[in-house]
Amino acid sequence: MIRIPCPFCGERDHSEFGYGGDGTIVYPALDAPAEEWVEAIFERENICGVQSETWQHVNGCRMWLLIERNTMTHEIQSVRPAHEGVAKALEESK
């Protein structure tokens, strides 16, 4: 059981979260050519080591989080709200 420290709710079991995907993808503009979309949604890395990924605290605050996780050990290196504005506000509130 991975334990994820949600910045809003505290440390919780991963079963409370939904997995999103690769957190480094920059999605193309909606009118971008299909090739760019193919790259963004199909051509994914399979990282052995630390990977940046998105999770949603579905059964909690419902916030989308950006998490750095080691795919070999499940060690979580960092967690922050995926929304930069929210992340910044949270940082400033500390």
Partner 1 sequence: MSARRLQSGGLIDRTQTLRFKWDGRDMTGFAGDTLASALLASNERVLARSFKYHRPRGIMSAGVEESGALVTVGTGDRRDPNVRATTQELYGGLVANGQNAWPSVRHDVSAVNGLFGRFFAAGFYYKTFMGIPPFEWGSGTGMWMQYEKIIRRAAGMGEASRAPDPDRYEHGHTHCDVLVVGSGPAGLAAAHTAAEAGLEVLLVEQDCELGGAYLSEPGAVEERQNAIKALNDAGVRIMTRTTAFGLYDYSVAGLLERVTDHLSAPSEHLPRQRFWTVRARYTVVASGALERSIAFGDNDRPGVMTAAAGRTYLNRYGILPGSKVIVATTNDSAYTGAAELCRAGAAVTVLDARRSVDNSVLDLARNAGTGLRLGAAPLRAIGGKGVYSLDLAASDGDGWRADGSENCDLVLVSGGWSPVVNLSSHRGAKPVWDAENACFMPAASDEPLTMAGSAAGIWNTKGCIASGQVAGAHAAKALGKSAPAASAPSAGGWASPIRPVYEVTVPRKKLKSFVDPQHDVTTSDVRLAHREGYVSVEHLKRYTTLGMATDQGKMGNIIGLALMADALGKDIPEVGTTTFRPPYTPISIGALSGSSVGAHFRPLRRTPMHDWNLEQNGTMTEAGLWQRPWYFARAGETITEAYIRETDTVRKTVGLCDVTSLGKIAVQGPDATELLNRVYTNPFAKLAIGKARYGIMLRDDGMVMDDGTTWRLSDTDYFMTTTTAHAAKVMVWLEELLQTRWTDLKVHVTTVSEQWAGCAVAGPKCREVLEACVADKTVMSSEAFPFMGVIETTLKGGMPCRIARISFSGEMAYEAYVPSDYAMPLMEMLWKAAEARDGCLYGTEALGALRIEKGHVTGAELDGRVTIDDAGLGKMASPKKSFIGSAMRSRGDMGREDRPRLVGIFPKNRTQSFNAGSILCAEGKVEGLGEGWITAVTHSPELGHWIGLGFISSGYEPWAGKTVIAADPVRKGNIEVEIVSPHMVDPSGERMHG
Footprint of partner 1 (CB under 8 A): 1-3, 18, 20, 23, 27-34, 36-38, 40-42, 54, 56, 58, 62-64, 66, 73-74, 81-86
**To the nearest whole angstrom, how small is the minimum distance from the Cβ of residue 3 to partner 1?**
4
* Closest CB 47 distance from partner 1, rounded Å: 18
Please give the Cα distance from 49 to 77 (Å, whole number).
11
- 42, burial (CB in 10 Å: exposed 0-12, middle 13-18, buried 19+): exposed
Nearer to partner 1, 18 or 47 (CB): 18
Taking the complex as a whole, the smallest distance from the CB of residue 68 to partner 1 amounts, in Å, to: 15
Q: Per-residue b/e over 70-92, b at no fewer than 16 CB within 10 Å? A: eeeeeebeebbbbeeeeeeeeee
Using the minimum distance from each CB to Zn ion, give the nearer residue, 9 or 86.
9
